[in-house]
Amino acid sequence: TKFEEGQVVRGVIGLDGGSTSSKAVLVDHETGDVLYKAYTLSKGNPIRDTKDILTEIKGYVESFGATLECTGFGATGYAANVLEESVKADVNIVETVAHMMSAVRYVPHADVVCDIGGQDIKVLFLAENKEGTRDVRDFRLSNQCSAGNGMLLQAMADQFGVHLHDYADTAFGADLSPKFSYGCAVFLDADRVNFQKEGFTAQEMLSGLAKVLPKNVWQYVVQVPRLAEFGRVFVLQGGTQRNLAAVKAQVDYIEERVPNAEVVVHPHTGEAGAIGAAMETRRVVRRKGSSTFIGLEQAINLGYTTRNDESTVCHFCPNECSRTFIDTKTPDGRTSRYISGFSCEKGTVESKDALKVLAKERNEIRRQYPNLVDEESRLAFKKFYEPVPLPKSGASKKDVRVRRKMFFRVARRMVNRGFTRSYADLSNIKIGMPRVMNLYSCAPFFRHYFDSVGLPKENLVWSPPTTEEMWVEGGRYGSIDPCYPSKVIQAHMHELLFHAHTDEKRKRGPLDYIYYPCITHIPSFLNNVMDTAACPIVAGSPLVTKASFTKEVNFFEREGIDYVDDAVSFTEPNLLKKRMFATWGARLGITEDESDWAVEQGFVALRRFDEIQEERGKAIIEQMEREDRVAILVIGRPYHNDPGLNHGIPDEFQVLGYPVLSIRSIPKDPVWLKRRMRGLADPLDLNDVWPENFSANSVQKVWAARFAAFHPNIAVLDLSSFKCGHDAPTYGLIDRIVKTAKAPYSALHDLDANKPGGSIQIRVKTYSYKLKMVEEQLKDESHLRTELARRVAEKRLELLRRMEHQSAQAMPAR
């Protein structure tokens, strides 16, 4: 854009600070139009790059004799964190959201955004939200391998002596193209050598390479067979789209697979991220009416030093992370320090005192924003209920006497008889149980069963929550299991056998039993379900685990431990009594009356477990309703409460200021639910949505998604384990439920042993941006409601006064 002499240009600046280059745009404060684009190759320091690029923008505007009034500044990319601190950027926005905002600025109805930069590929799937605009619903990233993206195309063009600008013309001149393998740069290079040997020309090779790009994007990075299921409007952006051969290959690929596809190339392909940062900055400063940015002059003249030496190493743990300190000073004397290179939160501070303050702050956040997933994971294994003591021997007990009659008939008669007691001393018996699978929901039953028959509390030993170390040490006993929750059981069994059993220090002493019951059916709060079955992998896991530890050496026998894996079902309380007595009667030397009594106490404990969590959940949900805030509802299987399985993802939301709810913590009181799930005759019946509801944990997940769909203050975080066959049928259902309600939703369907730290961070930041928008919307709606109520009250008062006035005038004078 050209400016006029004397013109005051009011605009916001958005910057996309990458590790190899930085791009920035100046956009009009009023219209959002792009006024100027700037680009600089990275000089290795984000502050220096930013100063240079801001100088360029200012210089451009001033070259016309105009003045630049920078109304706001926002950043995305690798430089965003340091700029937030040093120049008080208005916005520090994650790349996914920046690219989405940029795409919808030009293509408001975009369904898919494909951004291919020099080093990475981002594919964003968008969905309409309640406000009628678009949100990032899901995304795929590839930044580990450069195969087929911009850098590789450039490298290949360089090898053939073709300038990148001439890439497309060269490739379009080819009559045929060799078929390169996709997915890995190493394979591509091997192909290149072979094809060159076979005599393919440079034109043909470049044409073939461009055609690999869409395969890398859609088959290697996205890995979804039916592209059309994401929609029909595709936006192509990122620097690589300047190469028309790459664009043509993408368009051909998409059009072949998506009926009526509309493929749009972003008008500013290379600056899409910077434009997104600018759009968000413009939105934020217009909403707030002010900017936090220190100002163009101060930013351009920012002094800085960078230090990375022994003095900056973090010594809070043996990792000794090598950190970088970036100190900045504005011309008017304000200083700030930004630390990078740490691996955990502790590395963000410099002294033990600061660490204490940090810990205090964290605890305060945890107190203010409870994480019920974490609380539930601990409560399940604790003693939280004092069982009613066993009756004395001979105390009156009601019973049913059954007598067989002729022709297979039976006669039942209520009788009173004396309670039988064993008074068994169980102080020398120790039982180990693994903290795995559905014990995350049923453990209170077992904990209080044993407590009720007189087993000392400390004699029931649970393996600890899953940790990486545990998995590395104990996860090698080789059974073939499909998902991480089932594989990790071996590590827990190893922990019981080789640590809990032998750990004299903690006075646990040797174990007499390891008890891992085959739980075939679990308790369910839903009405009219077909069944309450556990996943067969879960139910069968005690037998699989036993096989793992007995196949070559019978470790249980060797250690003198009795491995107990008898089946139990929670849907048949009488059968459960029989089973528990059959399993533990002789082993503990207790009577059937004692065992039955303990089963009843176990059920009371299970109900109490639900009540405690529901009370906590109710308080949080009602607080969110009052304060127009949002809570995260984690929908997973009970064992996803294990911090080693959920990789601490719920905690990441907690520290951002969102309370975290579990499925159990949603109140199940029908009256309370009916007020929130309006229009449903029975809010605990899911047959209209999913009649094939025999799998208890699956159906509870779907129900929780439906609850969230009805509730404006609840956002869903759906956790599933990689290769979970039982969750697979719920994906489509849950997707439809939340899509129809346009409810905030994010999913991680591939949890496994490794914590994908980087991608989790990006996902958390992407989702928390969405949640921030939801909270803003809730507050705006609440403000409108209050304003409307105020105006109605005013109007009513005015009418009343008018009526009083009129009636006073109509009264005959005395």
760 contributes a contact to ligand SF4 by CB under 6 A: no
**636 interacts with ligand SF4 by CB under 6 A:** no
> Three-class SS string for 9-56?
EEEEEEEEECCCEEEEEEEECCCCCEEEEEEEECCCCHHHHHHHHHHH
Specify burial of residue 671 (Cβ count, 10 A radius: 0-12, 13-18, 19+): exposed
- Strand 513-515 with 562-564, pairing: parallel
Rounded to the nearest whole angstrom, what is the least distance from the CB of residue 366 to ligand SF4 in the complex?
19
* CB-based contact 275:14 (threshold 8 Å): yes
Give me the least distance between CB of 440 and ligand SF4, in Å please: 11
Candidate ranges 127-135, 318-326, 569-577, 756-764; the one touching ligand SF4 (CB under 6 A): 318-326
Nearer to ligand SF4, 320 or 386 (CB): 320
Pick between residue 534 and residue 686 the one whose CB is nearest to ligand SF4.
534
Q: Which of residues 340-359 bind ligand SF4 (CB under 6 A)?
A: 342-344, 346-347
Strands 21-28 and 745-751 turn out to be unpaired
Instruction: Specify the stretch interacting with ligand SF4 by CB under 6 A; choose among 378-386, 446-454, 705-713, 725-733.
Output: 725-733
Of the two residues 184 and 321, which places its CB atom closer to ligand SF4 in the complex? 321
Cβ proximity to ligand SF4, 721 vs 766, nearer residue: 721
- Sequence-distant (6+) residues with CB within 8 A of 526 are 684, 685, 686, 693, 699, 700, 703
Contact range with ligand SF4 by CB under 6 A, out of 160-168, 317-325, 444-452, 579-587: 317-325
Window 776 to 805, contacts with ligand SF4 (CB under 6 A): none
DSSP string, 99-148: HHHHHHHH-TT-SEEEEE-SS-EEEEEEEE-TTSSEEEEEEEEE-S--TT
Token pair, residue 635, equals 């929908």
Taking the CA of residue 730 as centre, how many other CA atoms within 13 Å lie in the half-sphere pointing to its CB?
Answer: 28
Number of Cβ within 10 Å of residue 260's Cβ equals: 8
> What are the C-alpha distances in Å from 546 to residues 479, 521, 645?
10, 20, 22
DSSP 8-state assignment for residue 318:
T
Instruction: Report if residue 724 touches ligand SF4, rule: CB under 6 A.
Output: yes
Q: By CB under 6 A, which span of 465-473, 478-486, 567-575, 650-658 interacts with ligand SF4?
A: 478-486
Residues in the chain: 814
> In the complex with ligand SF4, which residue's Cβ is closer, 235 or 535?
535
Where does this chain touch ligand SF4 (CB under 6 A) — which range of 24-32, 264-272, 533-541, 754-762?
A: 533-541
Decide if residue 726 touches ligand SF4 (CB under 6 A).
Answer: yes
Q: Which is nearer to ligand SF4, 104 or 339 (CB)?
A: 339
- CB-count exposure of residue 706 (10 Å: 0-12, 13-18, 19+): buried
Applying CB under 6 A, does 317 fall inside the site for ligand SF4? yes
Among 59, 173, 303, 482, binds ligand SF4 (CB under 6 A): 482
Question: Which residues have C-beta within 8 Å of that of residue 411, sequence separation ≥ 6?
Answer: 402, 403, 405
What is the smallest separation between the CB atom of 647 and ligand SF4, expressed in angstroms? Answer: 14
Contact 583, 566 (CB under 8 A): yes
The stretch among 26-34, 296-304, 337-345, 797-805 that binds ligand SF4 (CB under 6 A) is: 337-345
> Which of residues 344 and 582 has its CB atom nearest to ligand SF4 in the complex?
344
For the bound state, the minimum distance from the C-beta of residue 666 to ligand SF4, rounded and expressed in Å, comes to 20
Q: In this chain, which of 274, 314, 580, 778 binds ligand SF4, going by CB under 6 A? A: 314
For residues 750 and 644, is the Cβ–Cβ distance under 8 A? Answer: no
Give the nearest distance from C-beta 582 to ligand SF4 in angstroms. 26
CA distance 441 to 606: 8
* Tokens standing for residue 190: 């091997």
Considering the complex, what minimum distance in angstroms separates the CB of residue 751 from ligand SF4? 9
Residue 331 or 729: the one with the smaller Cβ distance to ligand SF4 is 729
- 479 binds ligand SF4, rule: CB under 6 A: no
Sequence-distant contacts of 121-125: CB under 8 A, at least 24 apart: 121/149, 121/216, 121/217, 121/221, 122/95, 122/96, 122/238, 123/217, 123/221, 123/222, 124/96, 124/99, 124/100, 125/230, 125/231
- Contact window for ligand SF4 (CB under 6 A) among 132-140, 393-401, 532-540, 673-681: 532-540
Give yes or no for residue 322 binding ligand SF4 (CB under 6 A).
no
Place of tokens 């949640």: 771
Q: How far apart are CA 638 and CA 535, in angstroms?
A: 12
Among 538, 576, 717, 748, binds ligand SF4 (CB under 6 A): 538
Beta carbon nearer to ligand SF4, 267 or 482: 482
Report the residue number whose CB is nearest to ligand SF4. Answer: 347
Q: How far is the CB of 767 from ligand SF4 (least distance, A)?
A: 22
* 346 or 674: CB nearest ligand SF4: 346
Residue (343 or 786) nearer to ligand SF4, CB: 343
Cβ 740 to ligand SF4 shortest distance, Å: 25
Q: Is 316 in the site for ligand SF4 (CB under 6 A)?
A: yes
Closer CB to ligand SF4, residue 533 or residue 624? 533
In terms of Cβ atoms closer than 10 Å to its own Cβ (0-12, 13-18, 19+), residue 741 is middle
How far apart CA 621 and CA 660 sit, in angstroms, is 10
Span between the terminal Cα atoms of the chain, in Å: 79
407-446: which residues touch ligand SF4 (CB under 6 A)? none
- Report which of 365, 367, 372 is spatially closest to residue 655, judged by C-alpha positions: 365
Nearest to 282 by CA among 22, 11, 25, 8: 11
Distance of CA 366 to the CA centre of its chain: 18
**Least distance (Å) between residue 315 CB and ligand SF4:** 7
Question: Residue 544 Cβ, how far from ligand SF4 at the closest point, in Å?
Answer: 11
Question: Does residue 486 touch ligand SF4 according to CB under 6 A?
Answer: yes
Asked whether position 535 contacts ligand SF4 by CB under 6 A, the answer is yes
For residue 670, give both structure tokens: 């029908």
Can you say how many angstroms the Cα of residue 598 is from the centroid of all Cα atoms in its chain?
A: 39
Window of 218-226, 309-317, 365-373, 735-743 that interacts with ligand SF4 by CB under 6 A:
309-317
Kind and range of the H or E run holding 72: strand 67-77
CA-CA distances (angstroms) from residue 301 to 60, 69, 814?
17, 16, 83
Quote the least distance from Cβ 628 to ligand SF4, whole Å: 36
Rounded least distance, CB 723 to ligand SF4, Å = 7
CB of 514 to ligand SF4, least distance (A): 20
The count of chain residues that interact with ligand SF4, using the rule CB under 6 A, is 24
320 binds ligand SF4 (CB under 6 A): yes
Sheet strand arrangement including 262-265 = 134-142, 121-128, 112-116, 233-237, 262-265
Which one of residues 42, 201, 298, 319 is an interface residue with ligand SF4 (CB under 6 A)? 319
Least Å distance, CB 365 to ligand SF4, is 19
Query: Closest Cα partner for 644 from 757, 488, 433?
Result: 488
Among 448, 629, 637, 706, binds ligand SF4 (CB under 6 A): 637
537 binds ligand SF4 (CB under 6 A): yes
Query: In this complex, which beta carbon is closest to ligand SF4, that of residue 184 or of residue 760?
Result: 760
135-194 positions binding ligand SF4, by CB under 6 A = none
Q: How far is the CB of 542 from ligand SF4 (least distance, A)?
A: 12
Q: Is the dihedral of CA 230, 231, 235, 240 positive or negative?
A: positive
Interface residues with ligand SF4 (CB under 6 A)? Answer: 314, 316-317, 319-321, 342-344, 346-347, 482-483, 485-486, 535, 537-538, 637, 721, 724-727
